[in-house]
A = this chain, B = another copy of it.
């Protein structure tokens, strides 16, 4: 199977497949006499696994760890459970901070209505004044 076919089969772009090879996620494939990459079913399987992990936003480094567990000698799988737990915690943290961001932006948006001119824009003014409010207490004399 050539790279274009692998790309079609997995829905992953050709450049991305070559990138996964470069960073060590996908083992180097055999080569045809003309130098083209020649993939087998193992590559297809592995690449599908990678795509599934990426769709869950698992990092390249963590996918490498998962692939090691998958293809290495059997061990205790607690590390896998822990990896998922950590990612879940990370996602939840991000959701919390994005919701905080959302409400801040909602408040900001309320400051302005239609048809104002920039010097009277409530949004600009709010950004300016809250920026000033957050500045360090310390003052710097000019001498």
Chain A residues at the B interface, C-beta cutoff of 8 Å: 1, 5, 8-11, 44-45, 48-49, 51-53, 56-57, 66, 69-70, 72, 74-78, 80-81, 84-85, 87-88, 91-92, 94-95, 98-99, 101-102, 104-106, 108-109, 112-121, 123-124, 127-128, 130-132, 134-136, 138, 140
Contacts and interface: CB of A to CB of B under 8 A. Distances in A.
Given A56-B108, A69-B118, A48 B132 contact: yes
Contacts of A128: 45, 49, 52, 70
A41 to B, nearest CB: 9
Contacts of A134: 48, 51-52
Contacts of A140: 1, 5, 9
B45 A104 contact: no
